[in-house]
Amino acid sequence: MVGFIKVSSQSRAAAVAGAVAGVIRDHQRAEVQAVGAGAVNQAIKAIAIARGYLEGDGISIYCVPHFAEIQINGAERTAIKFVVEIMNHHGPST
């Protein structure tokens, strides 16, 4: 199972970072989804903060951005989905 986290432009980056770090610790993989420039900004800041939280536990992460088509109030929108995973010692896990 993958932890799925939705981020808005009003999300607190530190709170989202805590959620990302918790999901990574529990599931080794998280998906962070954002729609709009403000939400993407908060998501990226949160992933950077989460990286710092997890480094204290000896866990290194990386993220890969993807486009995702989603439905919001019956309308199709393009979201940015960041797949966050644990990096092994030889680079990204495969």
pTM: 0.88
Q: Tens digit of pLDDT for each residue in 4-58?
A: 899 999 999 999 999 999 999 999 999 999 999 999 999 999 999 999 999 999 9
CA atoms of 23 and 6, how far apart (whole Å): 13
Residue 3: which pLDDT band, with cuts at 50, 70 and 90?
Answer: confident
Q: Return contacts of 71-74, CB within 8 angstroms, 24+ apart.
A: 72/35
pLDDT at 59 over 90: yes
Q: Tens digit of pLDDT for each residue in 70-81?
A: 998 999 999 999
User: What angle (nearest 5°) sits at the alpha carbon of residue 64, between those of residues 10 and 3?
Assistant: 60
Considering only the top CATH level, what class is 3-92? alpha beta
